[in-house]
Amino acid sequence: MNNWFTVKVKYTKQLENGTFKRVSEPYLLAAMTFTDAEARIYEELGSVIRGEFDVVGISRTEIHDIFAYEDAYTWYKAKISYEREDGEGEDAKKKKISQNFLVSAHSVKDAYERIRESLATLMIDYQIPAIIVSPIVDIFPPTENLDREISRTPMEKEEKTPAPKAKVFSAPGSDIDDEDVSDDDDEEEVLEDDEIEEGDDNEDESVLEDDFSDED
């Protein structure tokens, strides 16, 4: 079964002004294990990054679905929450479920609209309590037979300029009815190389709280 991993790499990057700077960048990829995640990042970035680069951290990341739009390159993480009843009759109790989604968009508002569009067929009442800018640089989805890539048609199309379509990347086995994400940081089971210098601190994130929550 594939899982999502955030792999942080450090390398010397040439900036637009021609100068060089040592940077740390996170990438999200699908892999079976930590070892597979490390091997895949070297395979994916080997022909992209000039010179050598080091893997300074690998962490398992809970992401339910990824909605990739070809017209945007900034990733936003959206948290959705809903309630589900556990048990039957008088013993039934409501349980709050939270899940994380990634969507490429031009702004927080655009990310909100695209999440709503992508989840239009979801037959539950849910809220979007937070949307934040993700530092993820690029995403490497499952490949070959493990890749479940779906093209979704937007609900409404403009007459002259059709709305962009999203590709949906899901790790095999994901199910919105049985996966829970706690309110804690979504990166768990962190694997750090103690012999390698740790990367830079986490980048600042722009947070949108409740502004686009659904209101009845």
Encode pLDDT of 197-207 as tens digits: 444 444 444 44
The answer as to whether 49 is a domain residue is yes
How does strand 20-31 pair with strand 138-140?
Answer: parallel
| % of the chain surpassing 90 pLDDT | 49
pLDDT of amino acid 56: 94
More confident residue, 190 or 113: 113
Q: pLDDT at residue 147 above 70?
A: no
Tabulate helix, strand, coil % of the chain (nearest 5). Answer: 15, 45, 45
Residue 146: burial class (beta carbons within 10 Å; 0-12, 13-18, 19+): middle
Close Cβ partners of 141 (under 8 Å, ≥ 6 residues apart): 29, 30, 66, 147, 149, 169
The answer as to whether 44 is a domain residue is yes
The answer as to whether 138 is a domain residue is yes
**pTM, full prediction:** 0.68
More confident residue, 186 or 169: 169
Q: pLDDT at residue 67 above 70?
A: yes
Q: pLDDT at residue 3 above 50?
A: yes
The answer as to whether 149 is a domain residue is yes
The model's confidence at residue 101, banded by pLDDT at 50, 70 and 90, is very high
Task: From 157, 17, 141, 1, select the one nearest 75 (Cα to Cα).
Answer: 141
Q: Is 48 helix (H, G, I), strand (E, B) or coil?
A: coil
How does strand 65-69 pair with strand 53-61?
Answer: unpaired
The answer as to whether 24 is a domain residue is yes
The answer as to whether 212 is a domain residue is no
Q: pLDDT at residue 177 above 90?
A: no
The answer as to whether 106 is a domain residue is yes
Q: Residues 99, 104, 110, 113: is their CA dihedral positive or negative?
A: negative
In whole angstroms, give the CA distance from residue 208 to residue 182.
19
- Residue-range definition of the domain harbouring residue 87: 3-194
Average pLDDT over residues 80-103: 84
Q: What is the DSSP letter of 202?
A: P
The answer as to whether 211 is a domain residue is no
Domains: count for the chain: 1
